[in-house]
Chains A and B, each alone.
Chain A
């Protein structure tokens, strides 16, 4: 827990240009929730072992290219690919969450690469990769912030939609989109200054392999940012029951609670992949204003920033 506290408090000490509207300041964060919901470190260890065993069984059966993908998950996304850029469609939660994620990314990457946070294009000269880019919701703002962005997705339809939308604005038309996987890019020997995989790891069959690929894509002392949903009771209540069944924000079956990772598990997996998690933050939804805010509450959605050793 001390490590968690250190990681969470790192965000509060930072000097950043995050708009005040994105913040929800909490003077303390309830460790009790994360305590109750996540198994202690030793069983997290066990959980990772079982995940790795399951995945290696699967990959042994397919035998050919090692892949951390899950075919069923791909099919789910392919079905709704046309609605990526409809801000009121099935991807509405992502549209609402996007500014908040970008605030965290802008702040951590500006600090990591020592860029001027008050510049309009702080990522000028940085090569970023958006793994699981979907329709390009994250790639386009990153390109507007000056980065050289590559977006990859395993679903071909997504990449096509992303390409069409990016071509609409001269500032984003230079984004490179490819229908490929992180593993294939590792084989090609590509590397990037910062690797981002937001809301991807919960859809992946082998999270450990996936993190290894992400790490291989990052240059030494580069940055890696992942976001996902915590495997907690609260997350079951909000992200699955509320979001999929009651509010119907997401199609039923979008998320599998058992494939969520707790922050401790994610930290350990990343550690094994030579990535040191430096900062973590949570996203909290305020139903009255309809906006997402950054906070210390990592019990449902959380985002982690780490550096490659």
Chain B
């Protein structure tokens, strides 16, 4: 019976597709005049504001910040049938955003890369961006090794432990951004890109519209609290029903909305750069040193990315030292520097087999030394690290996604994955709201998004902060505890599976999921 219904729906869907397109035009004509003027721009060009009544442009959603997460939100909206008719404005200071910048194949990898988890990969596949990413350089990895300088223990993870093919994929940030932008530009989403900075933002509480003409102007709607007004640095005023802050950890939207944050600065800076090996690297390596972890991630074609966290003074030294010295320091840090190699214990103690459960594949793997670095292929970039969390993710007609809502330590490569999950959740909340006829700037709709993402983000931040603090202290008993933790994670299969599953984004909460 249900098959019949599904078939019938498919038949109807085909017949109704033309009706839906027809009704889109009726909708646009029935709406106020400013919206109809934007209809003709489907190619995302920056349409002129010249129109007969001189009204400022009005959009459904204004995304402030055209980075990976902001564009992800636009692409996600563009991929859903319920939201792809929306009118979106993207405000970003970068003048190159939106221009077709072709990334040449032979170029050296940019040091700014991100590790995308399997959950994010499925999100990118859903919005249709993954096929563009696969055309560019990207590196899947299926093994991970984590150990520390004390040499007391190590953990190896293998994707086969959870019956998967990969643990994650490392992609350059600009590739992520440009592929998603291509999706947006090819879609039917009405978008306008404003290459400017946000100066100020205003929204008024709701009040009635008595005493106005038949079709209220944009300014009237703003005065009655139905729209938010954004003033840009190039003098344009943009009006939107919902403002999304995707403008990074120093978010201007968050500041203007008066949303407070909590957090602290880690007394650590991170140096990132691209290096080259003589052989290809298929494993993600991370070694915790006394002052912070050093991570070596494959980026493809014998290149790897280094993220090295350390004290600020050491960081500026290492940044300014010669390339050869730096390479020596890196190899040292990954190898015998600071402490010995952990021993590979064979078979993991048969007396504990009742605890370890079914033996996982990576428990049998020996400890390996990472491949030697032979060449430095990019400049060394340095960033200060901090933890920051916004007290609220939403406010009147404002929602925050990505780093503007939460900033984390890079030690587990989770930062941007949390941002993509935010973008996905917000676009889902908007689609549900539109399905039920709600005004998209309405508080209840936005609160649904916050209720979904806040607990998950806070849990992840707590876990990462806990790990960071645990490794920051060199103290005998704590070192032994960490060693025990390594062994536990390495040999106890259910625990390892849970760790991999959480880090892959398959679970959004570490417990009870």
Contacts and interface: CB of A to CB of B under 8 A. Distances in A.
Given A114-B12, A120-B81, A167-B208, 18 more contacts: A13-B2, A14-B5, A15-B6, A15-B9, A99-B436, A99-B444, A116-B13, A119-B16, A119-B20, A120-B82, A120-B85, A140-B437, A144-B437, A167-B210, A168-B206, A168-B221, A169-B439, A289-B451
A165 B81 contact: no
A158 to B, nearest CB: 15
A214 B27 CA distance: 29
A167 B26 CA distance: 20
Interface in A35-86: none
A13 B1 contact: yes
Contacts, number: 96
A4 interface: no
A174 B226 CA distance: 17
B438 A120 contact: no
A32 interface: no
B26 A124 contact: yes
Interface string A157-194: 00000001101111100100000000000000000000
Contacts of B13: 116, 118
29 contacts: A13-B1, A14-B5, A17-B435, A102-B437, A106-B436, A116-B13, A116-B16, A116-B17, A116-B19, A116-B20, A118-B81, A118-B82, A119-B23, A119-B82, A120-B83, A120-B435, A124-B27, A125-B23, A141-B436, A141-B437, A142-B437, A145-B437, A146-B27, A167-B210, A168-B206, A168-B208, A168-B226, A169-B226, A170-B221
Interface in B445-467: 448, 451
Nearest to B212: A167
A13 B208 contact: no
A173 to B, nearest CB: 8
Interface of B: 1-2, 5-6, 9, 12-13, 16-17, 19-20, 23, 26-27, 30-32, 81-83, 85, 206, 208-210, 212, 215-216, 221, 224, 226, 432, 434-439, 443-444, 448, 451
Contact of B438 (A15, A141, A146, A170): A141
A19 interface: yes
A65 to B, nearest CB: 32
A240 B434 CA distance: 33
B444 A87 contact: yes
Contacts of B27: 121, 124, 146
A234 interface: no
A87 B206 CA distance: 13
A302 B487 CA distance: 56
A230 B20 CA distance: 39
Contacts of A174: 30
Nearest to A291: B448
A255 interface: no
Contacts of A141: 436-438
Interface in A231-287: none
B273 to A, nearest CB: 45
